[in-house]
Amino acid sequence: MTYIVMDPCIKCKLMDCVEVCPVDCFYEGENSLVINPDECIDCGVCEPECPVDAIKPQADDEPGGKWLKINTEYAKLWPNITVKGTPPNDAKVFEQEAGKFERFFSTKPGRGS
Ligand code: SF4
Ligand code: F3S
């Protein structure tokens, strides 16, 4: 089992989650993060750190495992991130939005740290 980053992270990318992970398994995209399910030890420490509730246990995934697939795929492509960076200026604007994946998800890598 693993934890997964879901839709609320997109365009918010607050990064409060990255520094608490004991195994450093967050990976950075241009406008969101993912967890590497093969590295996550299912400790749950990151879940309460996210101010927008973007991190959930795998059991809370959508039918078909949509977010597990996204986390697995992009953890292989994006750089590791262990240090909190500066969130986007307009993060607040996107906090209450739903369905951001279809409209805003960027496949481009972030800078990592
Ligand atoms: Fe890291 Fe634990 Fe969160 Fe998994 S559940 S990403 S190991 S902090
Ligand atoms: Fe995203 Fe929440 Fe972490 S917005 S970067 S999952 S603190």
* Minimal-distance CA residue to ligand 1 atom 2: 43
CA angle 57, 98, 34 (to 5 degrees): 40
- Contact, 3 vs 44, CB < 8 A? yes
**Which residue, 60, 55, 72, is CA-closest to 20?**
55
What is the CA(99)–ligand 2 centre distance, in A?
Answer: 16
The pLDDT assigned to 79 comes to 98
Share of the chain above pLDDT 70, in %: 100
pTM: 0.97
- Contact, 13 vs 53, CB < 8 A? no
- Contact, 38 vs 6, CB < 8 A? no
> For 44-95, what is each residue's pLDDT tens digit?
999 999 999 999 999 999 999 999 999 999 999 999 999 999 999 999 999 9
What is the CA(64)–ligand 2 centre distance, in A?
Answer: 23
Domains in the chain: ranges and CATH: 3-83 (3.30.70.20)
What is the CA(62)–ligand 1 centre distance, in A?
Answer: 19
